[in-house]
Structure 1
Amino acid sequence: MCHAENKKEETTHSKDATAGDIRQGQVKGRTITQVWACLAASLGNLSAAAVNGWTAATLPSMKADPDLIMSTLDMAWIVSIISVGCMVGSIFAGRIMDGLGRRTVLMSMAPFLTAGWVTIALAPNTPIVLLGRMICGMATAFLFSTGPVYCSEVPEARLRGSLGLIPSLFLTFGVVLSYIAGAFFSWRISCYVCSVPIILMFIVLWTVPESPYWYLLKGRHEDCKASLRWLRGPRYDFSAELAEMEEKINSVGRKVEYRELWRPRTRKPFLISLFMSTLQQVSGGNILMMFTGLIFISAGVENHRMATVVTGLVQIVFTLLCMFTADRLGRRPLIIASTLIIGVATLLLGVYYLMSDVFEIKWPPWVPLLSVLTAVAGYCLGCRTMPWLLSAELFNTTIRSTANTATLFYNRLLSVAILQIYPFYEEAFGAHTVFFTFGGLSLICSLVSFFVVPETKGKTLEQIQEHFESTKKKKMKHNIIHPASEVNTATSV
């Protein structure tokens, strides 16, 4: 009898504790729906990334196609014109994303990107290929900027590191898709293969809600609650989370202006975001991704098609490793390790070309293969993924989409410059000079990252923004208490 009463009392306490946990917001939100929403929003990145990686496997066969007469300049434009299209698209992407919603923008890009792929597949000559690539590039601007924003706003803080990297993971999958399609199909058929994921995204996105942050930004509180309820589950108490979101939006305002990027509370995150894009581009990772086949051919690697596919598999492995360790090791350690690895590996590749082209000493072909695979592994460990994640994390809700697209514009501007310069730089100074340059810049970025890249692991979006705002307030308070002359004197001592 006593045992039964004790059991009944324990059951009652257990129910009370569970109810208390729910009231206090201590029950974790449902994971499966948050994962599904991020997967749905990231599917388009498979096709968008295939646009970037497509030339790695298809350039050799396109150069052999009698219908396409390509000079060095034509080849450079076929590779880089997507970045020009992306720059054009990024001018409008932020405003449209804030006006129509993250989910709506993603869905509307499906017909545009599909049209771009079909144009390339049916192109009778090089100018039409460039037109199709331009269309694809404009569509990727919306997909690259909107997907990370959606995947940073949908998950809880405990999941945002891993789920926020799903768009970057799908970037890797998309590049590998283009490698495989280019290796086993003609360059025209590969276009149809690469267009399949964007169609799937359009279908799957019908099953998930709009970002709760966007609903709140538009003052649609009931829709915001419905979105959170679908994402977190019916047992999750999101009242505290919602209150924090509302407080932050009310404190920063709802009006979006580009000059907000240079205001004190946003300037430092914006500069960090620009540095991360610089780091991503000057590491030379995009050169290795988009000229893979030609690099293997010039280095004397046998069966360059299979080597390109293996390069894609390495990308998948190390992007997954980055995804599963981002919330354990943190963002900054991965960035530092990534730039260090790619720097050393790229310098080794430069040494190989120096010995081969200048001193005519032939090293085994596995040396450049290993160098490229190691550099690609390092690139995917952080350089490829973290800039997009941090660009979506560092800003408040009001300015997030605008900041993300401004960063994307800068990123693509650097990409155009580097991809245009690379073939001519290699012809003029040799491949060894190119890879010595990229390797040295990567090592410099590794050192700078230690001092400037913030750690956002485990923090909510509101806490991250509060960190920059509180840092600015402390700095202002310090300047009031300690005049500039006193600070300078103390520093010189």
Structure 2
Amino acid sequence: MKEDPDIVLTTADIAWIASIISVGCVLGSILAGRVMDLIGRRTTVIVLAPFLLTGWLIIALAPNAPVILLGRMICGTATAFLYCASPVYCSEVPEARLRGSLGLMPSLFLTFGVVLSYMAGAFFSWRISCYICCIPIILMFIVLWLVPESPYWYLLKGKTRECKESLRWLRGPRYDFSAELEEMEAKITSVGRKVEYRELWRPRTRRPFLISLFMATLQQVSGGNILIVFTGLIFISAGIENHRMAVVSTGVVQIVFTIVCLMAVDRVGRRPLIIASTCIIGLSNTLLGFYYLMSNVYGIQWPSWVPLTTILTAIAGFCLGCRAMPWLLSSELFNTTIRSTANSANIFYNRTLNVIILQVYPFYEEAFGAHAVFFTFGSLSLFCSFITYFIVPETKGKTLEEIQEYFESPRPGSRNQGYERVEGN
């Protein structure tokens, strides 16, 4: 866009174009939880598809920056429903042993979308790129008509027959899901079907809610979203000549390490991946800060492969856990009745923090230098890695009902005791 003679962009315009999608997401999150409880998880995603398509078309045809912002705002509002419904659907549909890998599918396809936009931007004009980004929306709209609604949602609405049909489609005609259905019904009966926001602060929900907010904070203060949203500008400022192909290479790294995360999550577990992820991106951001300090403050030029390798390593670390795990845990930690509302509240907080960071970044860099930015992100990531070890439980291999039992039981006397309760049978 900055190279388009018809579009004049200031620093404030760039900050708003990057962040206004999160502003829309904040607004949409206020209604997302209630809507997906009202019409269903799958139906919510189907309904939002035309709004996403409209947003992209407005951007593609925009004559100036304000119209671009309007299109981004529409996309952001629709994205709130997508962020809320997709992780919940992907956590409620699979069996416990597959929930980690299948629950990360939204993050994997989010990565594919980012890479698609990178490649479209590298080889086509930004307007053509917008048309290309309409293709996944059309495919999503078509494919979702072929799959059933979440069995948990059917049960929440008292539709036992439809719940059985959904489970039969998902598990196969010969699979005996009677025990699974009985456990689901018992848990919904125990927690009730009425949704209230004050439920988030009751003892059985307060701890998972605080953990989900911490995970959202970890995701944003790691700096990974800054590296992904401002990739091209960061490569240019770091002195990398072929910045377009460097941007495409970051897309490849995102795909590879998101797949690694997806394959490892049900083997290694959630918490080890989060700790490894925050350590990698923390150390990489710190090294990138030293590079900018040497280059911009002391005039000592390091080879261009240093910032390129450092940025790629930071993005790899981000995709290994920080990017996807907060969404997965947010969809796992809550009981069925409050799951949608909790996800909606978490998205509101996540996107609000995202807006603040994306808005502040360009001005913070101008005022204090890029080295200060990445030193800050690096130190915060390492601090979050330390906190994760003590407060985030392991949910690998546990049913949603077992996770709920863990939080609803009296608080364990020690961290290890709580960890064993979730890990053990």
Q: Is the pair's TM-score, using the shorter chain for normalization, greater than 0.5?
A: yes
Structure 1 match to 2:335: 396
1:195 and 2:145 are equivalent in the alignment = no
Cα distance, 1:64 vs structure 2 = 1.8
- Contact 1:265/1:472 (<8 A) preserved: no
- Contact 1:113/1:135 (<8 A) preserved: yes
- Give runs of aligned pairs for residues 85-234 of structure 1, distance below 5 A: 85-234=24-173
- Contact 1:314/1:373 (<8 A) preserved: yes
- Contact 1:356/1:362 (<8 A) preserved: yes
Cα distance, 1:67 vs structure 2 = 1.4
User: Which amino acid counterpart does residue 219 of structure 1 have in structure 2?
Assistant: G
With the length of structure 1 as denominator, give the TM-score of the two structures. Answer: 0.83
Structure 1 match to 2:242: 303
Cα distance, 1:472 vs structure 2 = 3.6
Structure 1 match to 2:351: 412
Structure 2 match to 1:294: 233
Structure 2 match to 1:316: 255
Cα distance, 1:473 vs structure 2 = 8.5
- Contact 1:105/1:146 (<8 A) preserved: yes
Give percent identity, aligned residues only.
76
1:456 and 2:391 are equivalent in the alignment = no
CA RMSD of aligned residues (A): 0.9
Structure 1 match to 2:315: 376
Which protein is bigger by CA-based radius of gyration?
Answer: 1
Segments of 4+ in structure 1 off by > 3 A? 471-475
Please list every run of 5 or more consecutive structure 1 residues that lacks an aligned counterpart in the other structure.
1-61, 476-493
Distance in structure 2 (CA, Å) of the matches to 1:217 and 1:178 = 38
Instruction: Encode CA deviations 1:112-160: one digit per residue, 9 max, x unaligned.
Output: 0000000000000000000000000001101111000000000000110
Distance in structure 2 (CA, Å) of the matches to 1:93 and 1:381 = 27
- Contact 1:162/1:324 (<8 A) preserved: yes
Distance verdict in 2 for CA 1:249–1:332, change over 3 Å: same
Instruction: Encode CA deviations 1:166-196: one digit per residue, 9 max, x unaligned.
Output: 0111111111111011111100010011111
Distance in structure 2 (CA, Å) of the matches to 1:195 and 1:250 = 42
Distance in structure 1 (CA, Å) of the matches to 2:372 and 2:97 = 44
With the length of structure 2 as denominator, give the TM-score of the two structures. Answer: 0.96
Q: Secondary structure at the match of 2:195?
A: coil
Given candidates 251, 254, 261, the residue that maps to 2:193 is: 254
Q: Secondary structure at the match of 1:89?
A: helix
- Contact 1:338/1:378 (<8 A) preserved: yes
Distance in structure 1 (CA, Å) of the matches to 2:412 and 2:359 = 43
Structure 2 match to 1:427: 366
Distance in structure 1 (CA, Å) of the matches to 2:145 and 2:354 = 33
Q: Secondary structure at the match of 1:63?
A: coil
Structure 2 match to 1:64: 3
Please list every run of 5 or more consecutive structure 2 residues that lacks an aligned counterpart in the other structure.
415-425
Q: Secondary structure at the match of 1:327?
A: coil
Distance in structure 1 (CA, Å) of the matches to 2:281 and 2:189 = 43
**How many residues are aligned here?**
414
Structure 1 match to 2:182: 243
Given candidates 346, 370, 373, the residue that maps to 2:285 is: 346
Distance in structure 1 (CA, Å) of the matches to 2:21 and 2:101 = 28
- Contact 1:183/1:309 (<8 A) preserved: yes
Distance in structure 1 (CA, Å) of the matches to 2:60 and 2:23 = 20
Distance in structure 2 (CA, Å) of the matches to 1:179 and 1:414 = 24
Cα distance, 1:474 vs structure 2 = 7.7
